[in-house]
Structure 1
């Protein structure tokens, strides 16, 4: 699969339908940056009239995972990838359209290359920042990815 916004959103529909139904969409993908958005709606709300934390986590994870998937594909090698840990910090109610941005693509690329050269598994943390339409941070999520050459 070529890594384009359209193909990633098709991937969501077929492979991660709960994220797609919740409104998670990729808006931009580059070698070192991925932007994912999700709008607060009835289907993804919590009882406090804001976006459910798990929906934010799906969007944030996708912003990191799409970068890992892209660099795995670019390596031309068979690489397994898995989220080993995650940490979250919520600073404001998530209402309106929330944008998650990850700028750690270079870290994923380096770790994948290290795993290929060493033949051992590598772990690395990637950060995704969620902001509302006013540019205010609503959440910060860190995902520890594990990659290993097969």
Structure 2
């Protein structure tokens, strides 16, 4: 089954309902990048009238995780994936529609190949950058993914 925008958004509804309820939606995905967007609303705001950091983290993690899932699926191998750690930097108040994008997918393919050839777990970092409707960066999130053959 090929990963598509519609299938990923359906996945959110049934497997990550809190992200779905908060308005997190996949907008684009291919082998090199993934875009996810979420609009600041009452349900996902913090007391300072901006988007709660955890909602931003859900959207950012999805950009990286969806790419990892796509590359694992393409490898035709049974591979487990898990976030080991993450780092966040917030640079501007997140209001309006925020779009997160991960573009450094080349690390995923290398890690999968290393996991297959060495039969050892691999770790790698993926970055997702969130921008507002004016193209201004509001946050930057890095996720350390671990993968291993099952």
Instruction: Tell me the TM-score normalised to structure 1 length.
Output: 0.99
Instruction: Supply the RMSD in Å over aligned alpha carbons.
Output: 0.6
Superposed, 1:50-69 pairs within 5 Å as 50-69=50-69
Unaligned runs of 5+ in 1: none
Runs of 4+ residues over 6 Å off in structure 1? none
Which residue pairs with 2:141 in the alignment?
141
Give the gaps of 5 or more residues in structure 2: none
Count of residue pairs the alignment pairs up: 150
Q: Which residue of 2 aligns with 1:105?
A: 105
Question: Equivalences for 1:36-115 in 2 at 5 Å?
Answer: 36-115=36-115
SS of alignment partner, residue 106 of structure 2: helix
> How many Å separate the matches in 1 of 2:69 and 2:139?
23
Give the aligned partner of residue 15 of structure 1.
15
TM-score (norm: length of structure 2): 0.99
Between the aligned partners of 1:11 and 1:113, the Cα distance in structure 2 is: 26
The equivalent of 2:125 in structure 1 is 125
SS of equivalent to 1:117: helix
